[in-house]
Chain A
Amino acid sequence: MNTSDMIMTSRPTWSRVGVGSAGVAAADRDALGTTARLVVWPPTNLSRLLAVVDHELDLLDQQASRFRPDSEISVLHSRGAGSYLISDGLAEAIGIALAAARWTGGRSDPTVGGALISLGYDRDFAAIESGGRVPPEPAPIPGWQAVRLSGNVLKLPADVRLDLGATAKGLGADRAARAAYAAAGGGGVLVSLGGDLAVAGDPPTGGWPLLIADEHRQIRAARNLAAQTEHAAGPVRPPAEADPVTAQQIRLASGGLATSSVTCRQWRRDGQLLHHIIDPSTGRPADGPWRTVSVVAASCAEANAASTAAIIAGFEAESWLTAQGLPARLIGHDGTIVLTAGWPAADGGRVDPRATSRLLAGADLERG
């Protein structure tokens, strides 16, 4: 990489990455504890859209990050129980999280923050230290019904720690893609936050080509390795190869795609391997049959909520996803692959989301 590949904006540094096609341009930066990627066409749009994405990601971080002591949600937590007038942005994020909880039957529950903290996930994931103890009793889950949101007024009960992890990254991708496309005025935009992604505008011919894998930094061997290794902003771990059996390429023309997996964001306590997807019914990491679930939906927030809920739902996941009409791909711990609602079996097949978002309609209702 030469210096012309470094794209400087006000704060974080974007690094241009090659994605194997001259028709699109892409750049990466660290954001929200993971990697953000912006892909656009025509390629000339890239530079000026980075600032738009920066703006949206910075806003979300200021509103909803529980790892920043000065974020709006951290200030609420520090003040404890009460009724608060909150910003439009945080109200939207909490409204979506509550709507997701209602829609998924409580499987995706934003009140698991206390349980995550008790298990050691109390700081940015990269700063978690191994060691420490697992509490003998799981932390109580207050339940999403205990939280009330009316317009911009949030009623927070005592001892509730909100964690918007099941929906916030999806919401961030939705916001950023929408804003970037509005600023572009044409062409197409894709925004990925750690593999949860939203698209806006016109896709490349046939749809945006995407790889489904257990972990978002994995790549398919011998296909675009040369393109991917062009990524270089300081010391970067070489991308791992995706499992050739379970990885699949698909195409997406609209909406959003999210993948939840228990194979990453793992840490150890008392010799136990823990992960970040908490089952609200037990207060412990979900231990169902699925290791990775990918869902396509009308928005990335909806796909994000559904993929998290499917991991927690265990053996009920397939029937729930089918009933919701959501195309999904579930990979079991033993490598078994299950497809629902129009997810293509063939490599390179196109996935079309359901036309309307039940989650976003529900979020409006949650806010009254």
Chain B
Amino acid sequence: MENDRADEPERRRLPRFDEPPAGWRYAPAWQPVDPRDSGIRRTRRASNWTAAALVAGVAVTTGYLAHNIPATSTSTSGHARSRHHTTKPVVQAPAAPAPAVQAPVVTSGGSGARGAGGGGD
């Protein structure tokens, strides 16, 4: 009977279930974890916190602005953002026709001062 193992140079025993494979070594307990993995983990953790902080910040800012800026203000000057400017917009009836006005409503001339002035006004 042909021996199919006859040409094997040597025999090796398979490791037992509780033995490490041949050539394996356990890392000593004090050996640090791979520094690249550690960096990625730390970065990911920081990103999560940053994202959470951004979401919270946007929510707080949106809430603040919604309560403090008059919705219809179009002034470009800074004072328009004053929190004391509390005039509420009023929805106008849409079909009010423009009036016909004949007499001048204002005179445009040099701006004389109120009161007695300096004697020349």
Residues of A within 8 A of B (CB): 19-24, 26, 30, 33-35, 37, 39, 41-42, 48, 51-52, 55-56, 59, 87-89, 91-92, 120, 124-130, 169, 175, 178-179, 182-188, 190, 192-197, 202-206, 208-220, 223-224, 227, 242, 249, 257-268, 273-275, 292, 294
Contact = CB atoms under 8 A, between A and B. Distances in A.
- How many residues of B sit at the interface, in one of the four size bands? 35 or more
B118 A266 contact: yes
B108 interface: yes
Contact of B114 (A35, A262, A274): A35
A266 B111 CA distance: 11
A179 B99 contact: no
Interface of B: 70, 72-80, 84-85, 87-94, 96, 98-121
Contacts of B100: 21, 23, 204-206
Contacts of B117: 125-126, 128, 265-267
B108 A192 contact: yes
B108 A197 contact: yes
B33 to A, nearest CB: 50
Contact of A218 (B72, B107, B120, B121): B107
A89 B77 contact: yes
A127 to B, nearest CB: 8
A109 B101 CA distance: 38
A261 to B, nearest CB: 3
B75 A195 contact: no
A48 B87 contact: yes
Contact of A126 (B84, B99, B101, B114): B114
A213 B119 contact: no
B87 A264 contact: no
B92 A216 contact: no
